[in-house]
Amino acid sequence: MPTITKSNIAYDKRNLSDKELLKLYYNMLKPRLIEEKMLILLRQGKVSKWFSGIGQEAISVGVTMALKPSEYILPMHRNLGVFTTREIPLHRLFCQWQGKMSGFTKGRDRSFHFGTQEYNIVGMISHLGPQLGVADGIALANLLKKNGNVTAVFSGEGGTSEGDFHEALNVASVWQLPVIFCIENNGYGLSTPTSEQYHCKHLADRGKGYGIESFILDGNNIIETYTKVQKLADSIRKRPRPILIEFKTFRRRGHEEASGTKYVPQELMDEWEAKDPIENFKSFLFSKKILNTSIDEAYVAEIKSEIDTALESAYAESEIIPSKTTELNDVYKAYDYESFTYSKETKELRFIDAISEGLKQSMQKHKDLVIMGQDIAEYGGVFKITDGFLEAFGKDRVRNTPICESAIVEAAMGLSISGIKSVVEMQFADFVTSGFNPVVNYLAKSHYRWAQQADVVVRMPCGGGVAAGPFHSQTNEAWFTKTPGLKVVYPAFPYDAKGLLATAINDPNPVLFFEHKALYRSIRQDVPTDYFTIPFGEAAFLKEGNAVTIITYGAGVHWALETLDNNTDISADLIDLRTLQPLDKEAIIKSVKKTGRAIILQEDSLFGGIASDLSAMLMEECFEYLDAPVKRVASMETPIPFIGQLEDQYMAKGQFEDALKQVLAY
Ligand SMILES: Cc1ncc(C[n+]2csc(CCOP(=O)(O)OP(=O)(O)O)c2C)c(N)n1
Ligand SMILES: [Mg+2]
């Protein structure tokens, strides 16, 4: 550490007590000494990747000390000071970095990529920006619970270029969420200097554009960061609203240790070394006779001894012994399916009404369940599924959102972290692409990474046959069945839609719930009027026969039924999968072993779809029972065209009858 005899930072100690000032110093010293040790261990190859926060400690420490321990902080990769100030035992931190069992991720994720409910810290995913939207969700939960808590979230200046930043600030402003957005502007994002990252003077100036108060602080001045954040947090607790702070600081080491700093001019390094947040503060405290050599040496000795002891105990912990069962079991949160008794009374409902009724009854059952989506409140959603919900459940729980799929999925994750279930309505399943990252990387991986469930249902109005063209017709379930950690539900009937939606909401795991738009108003069925559930992973046998097994789901079910109605001589097992993840493998295999022939019908285009995987599974499991090759029937390998004659040509429906007859004739 450089020695600074006269402070280069102008401190004003205000009304802070000596004890508080010393605590600020101690809390900055700790991450610095840990990092200095880590750098040695890194060179010895004893620690994996390291992102240094040396020179930025005043921000992590100031913000963390300004918040109450019960308030969530969402740090980034350089915020060791957040973790140490929250007093996470060093043993656990070191175990985390070494991938040991006593860390926070059972060796499944590295460095600062973890969260802990015990310490109210939610660590990042690599993609940086999603943290900001997750903070919105936590802040929303605090607002709904009226607990007066503030949430702080960090981003580098590089991360502010991501769309997530824009979306999160906009949502926080529109909803007046009690969240402090902390930008650590440290001059570089990997090798990219600020001049190539953004084209405005200060990032804080962006606050105005979002309608958010913003401030610029000297990120190297611990008194300024601590007292200002404390004051702002107090004010937000009384009058909830978002605040943007740009902390000016500098990244004194490479992006990560191995990558070096060749591209950083030496003058900048020298200039910022002279502004070291710890050395300058130390010199100030010495000048005020608050700190002296003996106290300082005692601090250093105490911290070093804590580090050494914790390192020793972390190294002594045995390596993780891989177990496939443990790994697979932790992808999803365990959930014991619950069935409910319900009266025999039924009512004929259209597919769309069944979804609406199921959703409404879940809103009644789960008193804090929140639904979010574009135009879902006063307008009732573009399909009118949530018509009347606003009047029944109020604006807090039925939330119109700006057009920002990423931030809303992230906010749903934040609600789940705070123990609140949510349902997100994609206006059309096609638009999930704009929220794809948080679905497949945040929701899907969260339980596996740090045992945090993502209790979120994403409703997906999907499918073609409605002359809606390439961007309002897709059935994109295969994008999600590919991703471990997600459940995927795809009902074909009103009864299934209602019962499966209730289960999706009860299940604490992330569920993609596909609703075929062409079925909304065309399919009717008698459905129990009471609340009821249907278990996941159980296919429905709609017809039983001996000659062939037809496996399908969604609109495909109705195409197959129509074909069988027109060909009453065909004796087929017709399996409606109902849920794609989990998949009822047993039912499929059992049926194919019986019939010896299988045809799989999907609406999506062929390559990489569900049919391909099912076909491969049947080849592996039923080869010796097959009398004909397994047949896949799917739509054309083109985007989905608009006009009727082109869409009809595109759709798998038109090919199904011939393909079925071929399989039978083989
Ligand atoms: C979506 C995404 N793109 C790129 C990266 C690679 N990456 C990781 S950190 C980083 C730089 C981040 O810069 P900044 O936000 O300023 O934070 P700093 O590292 O300076 O603290 C980059 C490019 C990533 N992790 N995620
Ligand atoms: Mg940066």
Full 3-state SS string of 204-266: HHHHHHHCCEEEEEECCCHHHHHHHHHHHHHHHHHCCCCEEEEEECCCCCCCCHHHCCCCCCH
Q: What would the pLDDT profile of 318-354 be if each residue is shown by its tens digit? A: 999 999 999 999 999 999 999 999 999 999 999 999 9
Q: What is the pLDDT of residue 304?
A: 98
**Could you tell me how far CA 627 lies from the centroid of its own chain?**
45
Q: What would the pLDDT profile of 253-282 be if each residue is shown by its tens digit? A: 999 988 899 999 999 999 999 999 999 999
Dist. CA 407 → ligand 2 center (Å): 22
Q: What is the pLDDT of residue 1?
A: 53
Q: What would the pLDDT profile of 453-495 be if each residue is shown by its tens digit? A: 999 999 999 999 999 999 999 999 999 999 999 999 999 999 9
Closest atom of ligand 1 relative to the 56 alpha carbon? 21
Q: What is the pLDDT of residue 2?
A: 53
**C-beta of residue 137 within 8 angstroms of C-beta of residue 350:** no
Closest atom of ligand 1 relative to the 129 alpha carbon? 1
Q: Is the CB of 75 under 6 A from ligand 1?
A: no
Pocket test for ligand 1, best of 76, 125, 128, 247 (most atoms within 8 A of CB): 128
Q: What would the pLDDT profile of 389-432 be if each residue is shown by its tens digit? A: 999 999 999 999 999 999 999 999 999 999 999 999 999 999 99
Return the bridge partners of 605, or none.
Answer: 635
Dist. CA 75 → ligand 1 center (Å): 13
Q: What would the pLDDT profile of 632-658 be if each residue is shown by its tens digit? A: 999 999 999 999 999 999 999 999 999
Q: What is the pLDDT of residue 49?
A: 79
Rounded Cα distance, 2 and 276, in Å = 8
Q: Is the CB of 186 under 6 A from ligand 1?
A: yes
First to last CA, the chain: 79
Closest atom of ligand 1 relative to the 126 alpha carbon? 25
Mean pLDDT of the chain: 97
Q: For residue 285, what are its two tokens?
A: 């405290």
Query: Is residue 472 annotated as a catalytic residue, yes or no?
Result: yes
Place of tokens 């289960």: 503
Q: What is the pLDDT of residue 328?
A: 98
- What integer is the mean pLDDT of 8-24? 97
pLDDT tops 70 at residue 125: yes
Of the two residues 158 and 50, the one the predictor is more confident about is: 158
DSSP E strands in 409-477: the ranges are 422-425, 456-462
Q: What would the pLDDT profile of 513-556 be if each residue is shown by its tens digit? A: 999 999 999 999 999 999 999 999 999 999 999 999 999 999 99
Q: What is the pLDDT of residue 622?
A: 98
Dist. CA 189 → ligand 2 center (Å): 4
Q: For residue 126, what are its two tokens?
A: 């690599």
Q: What is the pLDDT of residue 523?
A: 98
